[in-house]
């Protein structure tokens, strides 16, 4: 027990000394504000309507520049996702033209099938970079590939609070973080001022504005809503089995806790003769 307490005390003392030094360093990029997400926490679940709205935004706006090459149309109908029907997915896939070869080996474009992945808007990264200044990142893993510095002691608390929504928080912040550059800040040509982007100069122009995408379910057609919906959709695209993972996790936890309890009492019984 004393070993335990000394351990914690020393670890804290050591880290606090260094953390003080860390704070001395000025960061002028504000941290993305934490948002409420339906999928956070141990019982988190995707909101199907939100994923469908997010997909609509991706399809109508983002996909003209951003690829999503690891996601297939069929994924949209799989459990734990946006919950489209098989028929809807088939119809949706058919809207896309997929490059293929015909039976004589000649290049053709055929209608998409559910098994196809989303076709990229540019033939390759160089073409994407030439058209946009910088190649727009692929959406497939983007929600897991973006984060921000949590710093001590928050990163320790995150283990217990299970906070892992840095990605969507950051994406939401970027989408809503476009504003006039402050006086004295020169934005280089081809760049755009964004409050939350590290260095504040982002190549992507503000992609979403109020009323840009029409929702059929009565959700507000505002930038705030769009940012939430598309970020949620990107989390699903990065982690399509998240709902299953958390559900299995809960079952595993119950099993392990019961097993641990049984082993504890077995251990007590076995050792009672010795103590």
Interface residues with other proteins (CB under 8 A)? 3, 6-7, 10-11, 13-15, 17-18, 21-22, 24-25, 42, 70, 75, 137-138, 140-142, 144-147, 152, 158-159, 162, 164, 166-167, 198, 238, 240-241, 244-246, 248-250, 252-253, 256-257, 259-260, 263-264, 266-267, 270-271, 274-275
d(CA 207, CA 237): 19
In the 8-state DSSP scheme, what is residue 195?
S
Nearer to other proteins, 6 or 64 (CB): 6
**CB of 177 within 8 A of CB of 197?**
yes
Task: Give how far Cα 48 sits from Cα of 32, 84, 87, Å.
Answer: 25, 9, 17
Q: What are phi and psi of 207, to 5 degrees?
A: -85, -25
d(CA 142, CA 144): 5
CB of 21: closest distance to other proteins in angstroms? 5
Helix (H, G, I), strand (E, B) or coil at 178: strand
Nearer to other proteins, 189 or 260 (CB): 260
CB of 220: closest distance to other proteins in angstroms? 30
Nearer to other proteins, 108 or 252 (CB): 252
Nearer to other proteins, 170 or 178 (CB): 170
CB of 29: closest distance to other proteins in angstroms? 12
Nearer to other proteins, 15 or 35 (CB): 15
CB of 17: closest distance to other proteins in angstroms? 8
Task: Write the burial class of residue 257 (CB in 10 Å: 0-12 exposed, 13-18 middle, 19+ buried).
Answer: exposed
d(CA 244, CA 254): 16
Nearer to other proteins, 214 or 260 (CB): 260
Nearer to other proteins, 59 or 144 (CB): 144
**CB of 69 within 8 A of CB of 75?**
no
CB of 106: closest distance to other proteins in angstroms? 25
| Angle, alpha carbons 163-169-174 (nearest 5°) | 160
CB of 207: closest distance to other proteins in angstroms? 20
CB of 257: closest distance to other proteins in angstroms? 7
**CB of 63 within 8 A of CB of 121?**
yes
């Amino acid at each position: 027990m004393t070993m335990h307490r000394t351990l914690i005390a020393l670890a804290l003392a050591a880290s606090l000394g260094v953390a003080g030094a860390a704070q001395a360093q000025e960061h002028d990029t504000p941290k993305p504000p934490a948002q409420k997400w339906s999928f956070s926490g141990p019982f988190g679940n995707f909101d199907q309507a939100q994923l469908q709205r997010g997909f609509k935004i991706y399809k109508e706006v983002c996909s003209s520049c951003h690829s999503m090459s690891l996601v297939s149309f069929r994924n949209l109908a799989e459990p734990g996702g946006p919950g489209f029907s098989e028929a809807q997915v088939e119809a949706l896939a058919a809207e896309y033209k997929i490059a293929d070869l015909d039976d004589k080996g000649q290049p053709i474009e055929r209608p998409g099938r559910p098994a196809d992945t989303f076709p990229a808007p540019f033939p390759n990264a160089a073409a994407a970079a030439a058209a946009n200044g910088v190649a727009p990142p692929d959406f497939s893993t983007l929600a897991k590939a973006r984060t921000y510095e949590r710093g001590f002691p928050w990163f320790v608390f995150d283990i217990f609070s299970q906070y892992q929504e840095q990605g969507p928080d950051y994406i939401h912040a970027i989408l809503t973080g476009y504003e006039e550059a402050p006086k004295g800040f020169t934005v280089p040509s081809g760049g755009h001022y964004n409050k939350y982007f590290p260095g504040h100069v982002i190549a992507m122009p503000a992609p979403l504005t109020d009323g840009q995408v029409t929702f059929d379910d009565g959700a507000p057609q505002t930038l705030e809503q769009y940012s939430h919906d598309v970020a949620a959709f990107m989390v699903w695209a990065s982690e399509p089995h998240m709902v299953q993972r958390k559900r299995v996790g809960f079952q595993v936890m119950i099993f392990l806790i019961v097993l641990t309890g049984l082993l504890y009492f077995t251990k007590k019984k076995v050792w009672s003769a010795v103590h």
